[in-house]
Chain A
Amino acid sequence: MPATARPLSPHLSIYRWQIQMITSILHRATGIALAAGTILLVVALMALAAGQEAYDGVRAFCASWIGLVLLLGWTWSLAYHLLNGIRHLLQDAGLGYPPKRFVFNSWLVLIGSFVLTALVWACVLAQGGAA
């Protein structure tokens, strides 16, 4: 709790949900998820350097039920953070700010992230699964 009783600006609960809020919140949430995902990146690289046994262990984890759920989540997080990151870079250049365009490119990023995820996992399934 704040130490003083000074007035605070209204927070999330007072606003009607809009797509722009969702894209903003998701960018941060996927960023945090991907930060956790870097652990797998390091472990996989160290296992590949260490030898066959360690590498097989990482592959077995990735092919497990929990591993697949995590990988699917990280695939979508990466797809979303990539697309919305590009959107933010374009915004840094001053593009896409008129309200209609802003709402449109928000939806574009959100739907695009699911399309990208589906594409990647279609490639995975076409190669005969993760195992």
Chain B
Amino acid sequence: MNDRSKQLRTPLKNALGLGSAKHGVHHFVVQRLTAIALAFLTLWFVWLALEMLHLDYAGARALVAQPFNAVLMLVFAVATFWHTQLGLQVVIEDYVHTPASQLLLQVAVRLLCFLGAAASVFAVLRIALGR
């Protein structure tokens, strides 16, 4: 038995590093990237929510419409829904074992998260661009 015969993976498989799911560590990496972004954005979001408490409608809208806040709100919404989709995907993979319900739930979660992100982005654009 030499080293070669013990190795079950081909050199190409090792080089690609994509694993059995064919996606490699992409899910892992994006989940962490969005987590790092959200760790900072969450602090800003809580500050914004507390500021909006004592503002009336016009004041609250003007605050979110400020370019700095509008951009961060766009990024916050996209990162939130992206991170939510990745997290719920793992929960469904872990607990739902019927292929049909698994597929149905994964598709539903992805579409709903995309819808939530799109609706949030559109709302922020309306607020920021004054329509």
What is the 8 Å Cβ interface bit string for chain A, positions 41-65, against chain B (1 contact, 0 not)? 1100110110110011000000000
Which residues of the other chain, B, contact A46 by a CB distance below 8 angstroms?
119, 123
Interface residues of A in 1-47 (CB under 8 A from B): 28, 31-32, 34-35, 38-39, 41-42, 45-46
In the complex where A28-B91, A85-B35 touch, is A124 in contact with B50 (Cβ < 8 A)? yes
CB distance from B80 to the nearest CB of A (A): 6
Q: For the complex, count residues of B whose C-beta is within 8 A of A.
A: 30
Docked Cα-Cα span, A82 to B46, in Å, equals 12
- Residue-wise, chain B 53-96 has the 8 Å CB interface mask toward A (1 for contact) of 11001001100100000000100010011001001100100000
**How many residues belonging to A are interface residues under a CB distance threshold of 8 Å?**
30
Residues of B within 8 A of A118 (CB): none
Q: By the criterion CB–CB under 8 Å, are A45 and B53 in contact?
A: no
Which residues of chain A come closer than 8 Å to B91, judged between CB atoms?
28, 31-32
Contact between chains at A89 and B50 (CB < 8 Å)? no
Residues 87-128 of chain B: 1 if any A CB is under 8 Å from the residue's CB, otherwise 0?
110010000000000000000000000001001101110110
A48 to B88 Cα, complex, angstroms: 28
CA distance in complex: A32, B76 (Å): 18
**Measured between alpha carbons, how far is A56 from B55 in the docked complex, in Å?**
12
A88: nearest chain-B partner, CB-CB: B35
- Residues on the B chain within 8 Å of A92, using CB: 32
Q: Which residue of B lies closest to A85 (CB)?
A: B35
B39 within 8 Å of A by Cβ?
yes
Is the C-beta of A95 less than 8 angstroms from some C-beta in chain B? no
Q: Are A55 and B35 in contact (CB under 8 A)?
A: no
Residue of A nearest to B127 (CB): A49
A49 to B42, CA, bound (A): 21
- Per-position 1/0 for B1-43, Cβ under 8 A of A: 0000000000000000000000000000000100110110010
Give me the interface of A with B, judged by CB distance under 8 Å.
28, 31-32, 34-35, 38-39, 41-42, 45-46, 48-49, 51-52, 55-56, 78, 82, 85-86, 88-89, 92, 120, 123-124, 127-128, 130
Can you identify 26 A-B contacts, CB atoms within 8 angstroms? A31-B87, A34-B84, A35-B84, A35-B88, A38-B84, A41-B77, A42-B116, A42-B119, A45-B120, A45-B123, A45-B124, A46-B119, A46-B123, A48-B60, A48-B123, A49-B124, A49-B126, A49-B127, A51-B57, A55-B60, A82-B39, A82-B42, A85-B35, A89-B35, A124-B50, A127-B53
